[in-house]
């Protein structure tokens, strides 16, 4: 592993904030970003799948990106997700993100729907084209939603052979084993082995060598002490904090999905609406109540930041 990666720690995915009618709520978005920074986030990711990027128009993506980067004003590094099937469009999105002040971009391998995929060599060529277009690090998102199998040897090869491909968000079954093998094969070229999926596998992934995590934006203040303690060699402290937090992580990941973060932010007054865009359904009232019950037992900042 590189002695000092440029970026490490907790980089939550910021939700996209809407009014009840589905319009963008840019003031609510700014409040969301301020909360994430106050909660101790090492950085922030925007326009990811958990940001409902798939429900946004291209023009809205640009508005959100610029509004967030201008509001952050370099207080923390920001990752902009620029995923697209087309190498050309992904590169264009990424150049605009870099010019606007993004610290990194995150992309998934090219895919569309349930069946349109390309092979490893095309994925490698896609990432080479992206790397040639920008001068900032690329985070490769390895997630089941793409349906693309990215083996540890292939990811390590990408890190070794493609200049800006240096960070990897691993959120597939067996993430810890994959991280460990990728780090073994890629060496210093794997600058940022990170986990994701609401940090539900955080502890084994940290034990495997992960240096960062990309959870939802609900409670970075509770995740940061785990990552910091583990990095400082205080594993017992990290284990204790993780065990305490795991029921909430599990409830968010398995019951609440991408709306859970907005529910907690709405309940704490960070944002005015927990709306998601139609046809995505709102959270069932019983599920919402269960989420809040577990969260209140842990007293996260999100429930009191605006009070």
Question: Can you tell me which residue has the tokens 């859970």?
Answer: 260
Count of other CB atoms within 10 angstroms of residue 257: 17
Catalytic residue among 169, 178, 262, 266: 169
* Cα angle for residues 57, 60, 64 (degrees, 5° grid): 145
Q: Residue 244 has what DSSP assignment?
A: H
CA atoms within 13 A on the CB side of 13: 29
From the number of C-beta atoms within 10 Å of its C-beta (0-12, 13-18, 19+), residue 189 rates as: buried
**Pairing between strand 116-117 and 78-81?**
unpaired
Cβ-based neighbours of 59, under 8 Å, separated by 6 or more: none
Count of other CB atoms within 10 angstroms of residue 121: 8
In the three-class reduction of DSSP (H, G, I as helix; E, B as strand; rest coil), residue 192 is classed as: strand
Q: Is residue 271 within 8 Å of residue 14, measured between CB atoms? A: no
169 tagged catalytic = yes
Q: Is residue 126 within 8 Å of residue 118, measured between CB atoms? A: yes
Q: Is residue 36 within 8 Å of residue 12, measured between CB atoms? A: yes
Q: Is residue 26 within 8 Å of residue 271, measured between CB atoms? A: no
Q: Is residue 64 within 8 Å of residue 24, measured between CB atoms? A: yes
Task: Show which residues are catalytic.
Answer: 169
């Amino acid at each position: 592993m590189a002695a000092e990666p440029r970026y490490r720690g907790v980089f939550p995915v910021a939700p996209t904030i809407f009014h009840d009618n589905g319009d963008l709520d840019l003031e609510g978005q700014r409040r969301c970003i301020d909360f994430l920074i106050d909660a101790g986030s090492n950085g922030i990711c925007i326009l990811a799948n958990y940001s409902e990027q798939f429900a946004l128009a291209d023009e809205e993506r640009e508005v959100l990106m610029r509004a967030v980067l201008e509001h952050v004003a370099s207080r923390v590094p920001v990752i902009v997700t620029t995923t697209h099937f087309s190498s050309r469009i992904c590169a264009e999105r990424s150049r605009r993100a870099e010019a606007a002040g993004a610290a990194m971009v995150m992309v998934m391998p090219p895919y569309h729907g349930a069946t349109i995929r390309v092979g490893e060599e095309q994925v490698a060529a896609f990432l080479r084209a992206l790397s040639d277009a920008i001068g900032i690090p690329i985070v490769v998102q390895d997630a089941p939603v793409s349906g693309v199998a990215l083996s540890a040897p292939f990811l390590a090869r990408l890190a070794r052979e493609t200049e800006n491909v240096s960070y990897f968000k691993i959120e597939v079954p067996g993430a810890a084993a994959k991280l460990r093998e990728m780090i073994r094969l890629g060496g210093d070229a794997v600058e940022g082995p990170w986990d994701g999926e609401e940090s539900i596998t955080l502890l084994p992934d940290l034990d495997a060598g992960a240096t960062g995590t990309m959870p939802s934006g609900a409670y970075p203040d509770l995740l940061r002490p785990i990552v910091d303690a583990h990095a400082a060699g205080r594993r017992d402290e990290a284990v204790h904090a993780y065990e305490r937090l795991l029921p909430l992580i599990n409830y968010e990941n398995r019951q609440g999905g991408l709306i859970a973060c907005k529910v907690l932010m709405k309940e704490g007054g960070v944002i005015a609406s927990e709306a998601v865009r139609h046809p995505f359904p709102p959270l069932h009232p019983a599920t919402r109540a269960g989420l809040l019950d577990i969260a209140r037992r842990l007293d996260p900042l999100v429930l009191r930041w605006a009070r």
